[in-house]
Amino acid sequence: MDTLNALMNGFGDALTPTALAAALIGALLGTAIGVLPGMSPTVAIAILLVPSMQLDGIDGLVLLTAVFFGTQYGDSLSAILMNVPSEAPAAVIARAGYPLARAGKAGPALAIAATASFAGAITGLIGLGLFAGLLSDFVFNFGPIEITTLIFFGIIALCRIAEGSLPKLLVALGIGLMIPTVGFDPIDTIPRFTMGATTLLQGFSLVPVVLGLIGMAELMEIAIDPTARKPVKVGRGLRALLPERAQWRAAGPASARGSVIGFIFGLIPGPSLSLASFASYRAERTLAKNRAEFDRGSFAGVAGPKAADDAAVSANIASLLTIGIPFTPVTGVLYAGFLLHGLHPGPLLIKDSPDEFWKLVAAMAIGNLALLVLNFPMVGIWIQLLKIPQRFLAAVLALLILIGSFSLRNSALDMLVTVIAGVVGYGLKRIGVDRIVLIVGLLLGPLLEDNFRQTMGLSGGDLGIFLDRPISLGLLILTVLVLVVPLLFGVARKGDTEPLLELPATTVPGDVPSDQTKKETE
């Protein structure tokens, strides 16, 4: 009851014209920046740190958190409409949403993404309000042992949703794990695989590689045959833009599941946003009645990961507020913003500054409502992007992808990396290698190495330590279940033809399957 009263007071404090304006502007700016390829929430918040100082205390933070949510939504917009995701969560959403856009269902897909985004964020904020005290204890239980097992679980779970044969999966995973080894060794800090080049000491960043593997490869495909994809016809009127009842029915439960998955994953230190989206996509695909149809684009496949993504953002902010340690680059920048605005995240925040804490929680909820209210009417505007002829779109994409790649570290090398990754990504797609596996290897590789080596140092080389810790043991049991249960189900069903690691070749992200392969999968 105290929590509810405190939250109500927070809403009372947050419903000021300045806070509302900050939420609206933040949501709008975040979406506009997030649509641009390469523009991650980290970059967006960093850009707006100084301008946010024009607003007093909490109002400035309202702006920054609204930008965080807005950028996540913006990234999913470009993923659904153009198959150009900037970050790993959007890459999952592109897989389910881009085929829908190509099939003329962009409006409903965007509307569902906006609603799922709101549902996920609000679930995360409710979780934050209810469990703020418990969160810090839970997060503190995660050390290198638990993180190593979690990453292992993440990779195995990913392999279950991956496409292509086992050798192709291993190739993608191997490349993904190898790329981050360039640069400083995380433990001994000696340079590795830099070939003496100082520019390689910092290693490769994720964003340029993702932009290349998916976005640049998409551009090359457009260049190879610009007439293959006709501009998509967009229906007129509100009815054509809004989802039908069946589509809502598919998306609603998926949003709910994604919200819970996202919030749980979001509390965990590390690449929680990506893992949350992957886990949600995995769950939706498992529950899908017709997986071949799901692979050709799915509203549940958009709603689940999108809700998970935003719930994880809320949980990320919850972790930051309650324990005061930023575990990801974006929460690091947000942490700097909190300090700039005079708020000191940590276990004492709720006790010392309850008014500010609850006002911020309420303001984040208002920011998300603003995002929904703004983006629903704007669906009609965003989908006009699909009307651009591919011959012209190629130049727009080329410029945006290259400059977006540059924007993260102001590095020309990153642009070259994007181009090379594009060529590699196109080649991999042509031979049916799943690029999402590569991206996750790239994302989890450095964490896996760092935490595994720390664990081995702690245990003196005893692998049994993974079974001694309850969270680690639980995750290992989950990993075994992920591997074994589908096999058992496969045996029980007999009719279920889904192999362990081999999926239809038509399910390469962004592909619109040919009639021939459609018949085959049916």
Contact residues: other proteins, CB under 8 A: 33, 47, 165-175, 177-178, 181, 185, 187-188, 190, 192-193, 219-221, 223-226, 228, 391-392, 394-396, 398-400, 402-403, 406-407, 410, 412, 415-416, 419, 422-423, 426, 430-432, 445, 448-449, 452-453, 456-457, 460-461, 463, 505, 513-517
Distance, CA of 68 to CA of 46 (rounded, Å) = 11
What is the length of the chain?
Answer: 522
DSSP letter assigned to residue 36: S
Q: For 510, list phi and psi in degrees, rounded to 5.
A: 90, -10
DSSP output for 406-464: HHTTT-HHHHHHHHHHHHHHHHHHHTT--HHHHHHHHHHHHHHHHHHHHHHHHHTS-TT
Cβ at position 194, least distance to other proteins in Å: 10
Provide the minimum distance between the beta carbon of 479 and other proteins in the complex, in angstroms, as a whole number.
17
Closest CB to other proteins among 77 and 308?
77
Phi, psi (rounded to 5 degrees) for 24: -65, -45
Residue 452: CB minimum distance to other proteins, A: 7
- The angle that helices 17-35 and 41-52 make with each other, rounded to 10 degrees, is 140
Question: Following CA atoms 331, 332, 336, 338 in sequence, which dihedral angle do they give, to the nearest 10 degrees?
Answer: 30
Q: What is the smallest separation between the CB atom of 408 and other proteins, expressed in angstroms?
A: 10
Q: How far is the CB of 415 from other proteins (least distance, A)?
A: 5
Smallest gap from residue 231 Cβ to other proteins (A):
14
Residue 340 or 465: the one with the smaller Cβ distance to other proteins is: 465
Minimal distance, residue 21 CB to other proteins, in Å: 20
- Closer residue to other proteins in complex, CB, 267/437: 437
Write down the residue that tokens 């190509």 correspond to: 102
Contacts of 410 (CB under 8 A, 6+ apart): none
Q: Which is nearer to other proteins, 175 or 321 (CB)?
A: 175
| Residues 424, 315: Cα–Cα separation, whole Å | 35
* Amino acid of residue 292: A
Query: Inter-axis angle of helices 217-224 and 412-430, to 10 degrees?
Result: 60
Looking at the Cβ atoms of 237 and 461, the one nearer to other proteins is 461
Q: Give residue for tokens 């804490």.
A: 357
Query: Among residues 178 and 242, whose Cβ is nearest to other proteins?
Result: 178
Cα(498)–Cα(251) distance, integer angstroms: 23
- Taking the complex as a whole, the smallest distance from the CB of residue 218 to other proteins amounts, in Å, to 11
- Give whichever of 182 and 256 is closer to other proteins, judged by the CB atom: 182
**Who contacts 82 (Cβ-Cβ below 8 Å, separation ≥6)?**
98, 215, 218, 385, 393, 397
Which lies closer to other proteins via its Cβ, residue 207 or residue 349? 207
CB of 417 to other proteins, least distance (A): 10
Q: Which is nearer to other proteins, 369 or 419 (CB)?
A: 419
Task: Give percent helix, percent strand, percent coil of the chain, each to the nearest 5.
Answer: 75, 0, 25
